Amino acid sequence: MALTLMKGSEAIAEAAIRAGARFFFGYPITPQTEIPEYMSARMPEIGGCFLQAESEVAAINMVYGAAGTGMRVITSSSSPGVSLKQEGISYIAGAQLPCVILNVMRGGPGLGNIQASQGDYFQATKGGGNGDYHLLTYAPSSIQEVVDTMMFAYEKAEKYRIPVLFLLDGIIAQMMEPVEMPEMVEYKPTKEAKPWAAMGWKPGDDPAKRAVINSMYISTEELTDHTNVLQACYREIEKNEVMFENYRTEDAEIVLTAFGTVSRVARSAVDELREEGYKVGLFRPITVWPFPYDELKKAVNQPQVKAVLDIEVNEGQMLEDVNLAVSGARPVEFLGHCGSLFPTTEEVKARILAMLKEGK
């Protein structure tokens, strides 16, 4: 296994290229600017396209344009920029175009700050733009996990014709870790594989094959039919694509829940408390949409579990999904801060010990 020490943003960008992405459209914003910077140097080397758009609004619409031709396309931004992309994301979801979108989250609301944060969980999982839609949303917790997920992200996006969102944060983009890079995938779209794509159609060709990349269905009946198609697809994804990790939960009395980078703090707390003889475990959703409701419920409903502690770098957003999964079967507590203040291992441990002492 060849491990290279890489910066998160560069590893993520390279992984997208290895997964076949040949079109990048974006706009600079901290803490993800190294991604467009990397792309601007790398894309020309491999015959790809890097284009700095005039805004995130334009960038996501360029994604709409390029993805509609069947190519593998990616865009990247951070929270305020991702807010601007919501219009385009909704249209892309409506038009059922596969693509990959990265949100390297920073503090909010508004301009917030440039430190890592998890404040966009609601936006990512509950629909940031208008209309009934979802994005297949991954929240990996290490650079390697982002890279590995990227390698199948386009296949999922294309299988379901859905945009894939990576919910990352400034820490993962800025830190360095050893990574194993996969082999390069050379991707060529075909009309057979993507009959909906705009790849050339002339009068006299089969009218059913003329591409119309569109999210508008003006009659109630047509829009209902269209949303039924989307909803059926979302149910399939919920059935097939849920990803999660149970870490030392099999005999845990306290189950922690956390996603992304902060789950690593939770994991350290679990390991340290285990050393001290406390039975603590971590349940980590890897897909945050679809959320692993049933799997979390199963982990929490074990007889020895006394309570759940949800840890986030926000004021309690995934907490709502955790509560839905637990459905009152156990007390659920929350430890988190907004303003990009990461909980420390010590803080998490102290909270768990207090919970155990209270007999929860």
Partner 1 sequence: MSVVFEKTQLLTDKQFHYCPGCNHGIIHRLVAESIDELVKEGKLEAGNVIGVAPVGCSVFAYDYFNCDMYEAAHGRAPAVATGIKRAKPDTLVFTYQGDGDLASIGTAEVVHAAHRGEKLVTIFVNNAIYGMTGGQMAPTTLVGQKTTTSPYGRDEAWCGAPIKMSEMLSQVPGSYYIERCAVNNNTNIIKCKKAIKKAMQYQLEGKGFCMIEVLSACPTNWGLNPVEALKWLEENMIPYYPLGVYKDKGAEQK
Shortest separation between residue 92's beta carbon and partner 1, angstroms: 10
Residue placing its CB nearer to partner 1 in the complex, 3 or 216: 216
Q: Rounded to an integer, what distance in angstroms lies between the CA atom of residue 45 and that of residue 277? A: 54
Q: Rounded to an integer, what distance in angstroms lies between the CA atom of residue 187 and that of residue 332? A: 46
Query: 254 — phi, psi (to 5°)?
Result: -115, 125
Distances from the Cα of 238 to the Cαs of 76, 93, 116, 145, 288, in angstroms? 25, 16, 28, 21, 11
- The residue count of the chain comes to 360
Residue placing its CB nearer to partner 1 in the complex, 97 or 338: 97
Shortest separation between residue 10's beta carbon and partner 1, angstroms: 23
Residue placing its CB nearer to partner 1 in the complex, 64 or 244: 64
Residue placing its CB nearer to partner 1 in the complex, 65 or 182: 65
Q: Which two tokens stand for residue 48?
A: 């790809």
Q: Rounded to an integer, what distance in angstroms lies between the CA atom of residue 235 and that of residue 224? A: 16
Shortest separation between residue 64's beta carbon and partner 1, angstroms: 5
Contacts of 220 (CB under 8 A, 6+ apart): none
Q: Rounded to an integer, what distance in angstroms lies between the CA atom of residue 132 and that of residue 34? A: 33
Rounded to the nearest angstrom, the gap between the alpha carbon of residue 270 and the centroid of all alpha carbons in its chain is 24
Residues at the site binding partner 1, with contacts judged by CB under 8 A: 23, 25, 49, 51, 53-55, 57-59, 61-69, 71, 73, 87-88, 91, 95, 198-205, 210-216
Residue placing its CB nearer to partner 1 in the complex, 203 or 277: 203
Shortest separation between residue 162's beta carbon and partner 1, angstroms: 18
Q: Which amino acid is at 47?
A: G
Q: Is 324 helix (H, G, I), strand (E, B) or coil?
A: helix
Q: Which amino acid is at 14?
A: E
Shortest separation between residue 122's beta carbon and partner 1, angstroms: 23
Q: Which two tokens stand for residue 331?
A: 């007390």
Shortest separation between residue 39's beta carbon and partner 1, angstroms: 13
Shortest separation between residue 23's beta carbon and partner 1, angstroms: 6
Query: 156 — phi, psi (to 5°)?
Result: -65, -45
Residue whose pair of structure tokens reads 């830190």 in the numeric block: 175
Residue placing its CB nearer to partner 1 in the complex, 27 or 259: 27
Residue placing its CB nearer to partner 1 in the complex, 126 or 210: 210
